[in-house]
Amino acid sequence: MRVNGSFPVTLQDCKALDLLATTVCMLDQDGMIRWVNNAGQSLLKRSSRSLEGMAAKNLFEDDQAFEHAFEAILHGEFSSFGLMGSLIQNQGQEKLLVSATLQRLEQQAWSVILEVREIEQHTLAERNERLIKELEIHQETFRNLGHEVKNPLGGLRGAAQLLEMELSDPALQEYTRVIIAEADRLQELVDRLIRPGQSNLSLSLINIHEVCERVHALLKAEYREQITIVRDYDASVPDMKADMAKLLQAYLNIGRNAAQSLLSGNLKNKPCITLRTRVLNRHLLLNRMHRLVVVVSVIDNGPGVPEALHDRVFHPLVTGRPDGTGLGLSLAQEYVRQHGGLIEFDSVPGRTEFRILLPLDAT
């Protein structure tokens, strides 16, 4: 059976959909659920009668992300759209991590088909593990390269200084100054490449909102006129032991990226950044189950991470900006990882979210 394209979805097909183990919902053009299969009713722990007629976005914890995806599908920006998030089960009493796919239906009774699959925790763990392994290899390579470059660079700079002292013609000294200045610039880059290797954390009891407030103040100072910054905090996030300076640097790097991308091109909407905090219960992070995980997000309405960079944004020296060094995210990921956490992102034109996930306690 084909559900996208030109074949109409018939009642007969719906009976076949009832045999599937995955959740399928048919949505109308307002995003209302018009039909849900048996698997959907058991996953959501609700009857078809209570589900039909309700807005599909209300099935998801992040209703805005869903709404955004739905609009993109409805307006033909994409023919299919995948997103990951928490599904609200049992009328709000339970939550489940799922991946959802939206597909546009053409010339049919329903506008969009929504398919929902539970994400097995081990699939997520495997994905995270792969990402971390990849990063470790890259960081190791760049760190080694950095060390290799450091010594000859020092020699080069020293020789230029000696040469400068020998030169009597001040016009020639201009050249040695260029050598010294460029060597210094390269040295700074190398230092940034090598720095993440130092994993000693200076821990203190902090509230994550202190970090958010500092980032808010810094972004406001830098981009006051150009960008609206919204704060959406979950006041119930408990205090945690962390390295304030490193978390601040990580969050600021993400915040600055958002601001830079907002100011990089023509936007349909007014540039806006949301700083958001949430708490997740029982979440698997880097192969460990945590009772509480805090999620600190930066959401922007900019053009999104270039498609070609999606698999590589956290790798060192990967940049999409003409004046970028491509170290901001790899450093941020390293600092968050030193706290046992992880940075993830979702990005489509108009909505990009980078999330720092930090364990609050291990179980």
Ligand X SMILES: Nc1ncnc2c1ncn2[C@@H]1O[C@H](COP(=O)(O)OP(=O)(O)OP(=O)(O)O)[C@@H](O)[C@H]1O
Binding flag, residue 321, ligand X (CB under 6 A): yes
Residues 6+ apart with CB under 8 A from 84: 97, 98, 99, 100, 119, 346
Q: Which is nearer to Mg ion, 302 or 328 (CB)?
A: 328
CA distance 96 to 106: 30
- According to CB under 6 A, which one of 37, 111, 139, 261 is a site residue for ligand X? 261
Exposure string (b/e) for 259-275, b if CB count within 10 Å is 16 or more?
A: bbbbeeeebeeebbbbb
Residue 223, H or E segment: helix 208-223
Binding flag, residue 330, Mg ion (CB under 5 A): no
- Span interacting with ligand X, options 136-144, 165-173, 314-322, 336-344, rule CB under 6 A: 314-322
Pull the structure tokens for residue 309: 């960079």
- According to CB under 6 A, which one of 238, 306, 311, 362 is a site residue for ligand X? 306
Binding flag, residue 255, Mg ion (CB under 5 A): no
Binding flag, residue 302, ligand X (CB under 6 A): yes
Q: Burial of 230 by CB count in 10 Å (0-12 exposed, 13-18 middle, 19+ buried)?
A: exposed
Binding flag, residue 338, Mg ion (CB under 5 A): no
- According to CB under 6 A, which one of 253, 277, 297, 338 is a site residue for ligand X? 253
CA distance 343 to 355: 5
Binding flag, residue 350, ligand X (CB under 6 A): no
Q: How many CA atoms lie within 13 A of 21 on its CB side?
A: 1
- According to CB under 6 A, which one of 82, 320, 349, 350 is a site residue for ligand X? 320
- According to CB under 6 A, which one of 55, 119, 218, 309 is a site residue for ligand X? 309
- Span interacting with ligand X, options 72-80, 86-94, 274-282, 320-328, rule CB under 6 A: 320-328
Which of 54, 154, 175, 123 minimizes the C-alpha distance to 287? 123
- According to CB under 5 A, which one of 328, 347, 352, 360 is a site residue for Mg ion? 328
Q: Which is nearer to ligand X, 138 or 150 (CB)?
A: 138
Q: Which is nearer to ligand X, 33 or 327 (CB)?
A: 327
Pull the structure tokens for residue 200: 């000693």
CB of 304 to ligand X, least distance (A): 6
Binding flag, residue 310, ligand X (CB under 6 A): no
DSSP string, 230-294: EEE--TTPPPEEE-HHHHHHHHHHHHHHHHHHHTSS--SS--EEEEEEEEEEEEEETTEEEEEEE
Query: Residue 325 binds what, of Mg ion, ligand X, none (CB under 5 to 8 Å, by partner type)?
Result: ligand X
Binding-site ranges for Mg ion (CB under 5 A): 257, 328
